Structure 1
């Protein structure tokens, strides 16, 4: 289901992406990349709270992937939740101190 979700993404079928990735995480709830991509797809459909929930699940499945808290930070920043965005960007930098995009986002929310 995960690869199917990625294929739908290539075709721009976000609804199908979400459907496939939801099935992927039902089959394997520890599949952090499926949670990550599900969160991105949900965000792309304007489903911000669902996206944040999916990203949190992805981060709990793999707490060492800096892209997941960074994705949360970008959504939170867009929602105007700057303190939460700051914490998420800081988490990405704890995992990968040279993550330039996270450092830049942190500057934008007043974290540096």
Structure 2
């Protein structure tokens, strides 16, 4: 199992990378409107200006605003202070109304922060707590998708597929869930089912180099070499375009 996982890590692309949220997913954003400082315009030497501001907002008070805590946690995520984010999201969960959507969202976000730290055991616990609150809410599909990822990283690949399947059942219009389902199916040698899952993700608006690369890999396993080559070319073009945009953005 360890050799197989090492090979997976050597690939340029792995599936959800711990977050499982598309760019359009409104319930999890790394750009909270209340953050008054644009991190991309702050001198890295003076990045403490952001973190000091966040620490001030995160100090205890008699009246705790759960939404503010969530925004602080998301802001910590934005500047890669994931340990602080886990603490902040846990505080948000503790101060939120018991078994509310706010509490559930805080637990999901806490799991994401732990996953960024590769603390998959803690991430699994956070996602399970979120699902304990409600396994069929607007946040449940994201919890299931991220739980699947964390379980896979933790070596529980069979259970990971079960949760990926569950995510699709909860929200069949969540492209990331279809992508992850396709990844797990492909890992189990079910290439045809994987292609169908990847196609669903594409139809739902998810289009990136990683997804196309996985689809190309599945097509190769089916012996569809010509189509696989075409899809891989599309993936290469998307990756080149993304790299060019980065060069242009940071080269100016």
Aligned residues: 98
TM-score, structure 1 normalization: 0.75
User: Unpaired segments of 5 or more residues in structure 2?
Assistant: 1-143, 242-252
Alignment of 1:14-25 (within 5 A): 14-25=157-168
Of residues 197, 202, 216, the one that matches 1:73 is: 216
Does residue 12 of structure 1 match 2:155? yes
Equivalent residue number for residue 240 of structure 2: 98
Task: Please identify which structure carries the higher helix content.
Answer: 1
TM-score, structure 2 normalization: 0.36
Equivalent residue number for residue 232 of structure 2: 89
Query: Over aligned residue pairs, what C-alpha RMSD do you find?
Result: 1.9
The alignment partner of 1:98 has SS state of helix
CA distance in 2, matches of 1:97, 1:44: 23
Change (3 A) 1:30 1:91: farther
Assess if the C-alpha contact under 8 Å between 2:191 and 2:221 holds in 1: no
Assess if the C-alpha contact under 8 Å between 1:70 and 1:88 holds in 2: yes
Equivalent residue number for residue 52 of structure 1: 195
The alignment partner of 1:62 has SS state of coil
Of residues 34, 45, 56, the one that matches 2:177 is: 34
CA distance in 1, matches of 2:158, 2:239: 35
CA distance in 2, matches of 1:33, 1:54: 10
Cα displacement (A) at 1:11: 1.8
Change (3 A) 1:63 1:33: closer
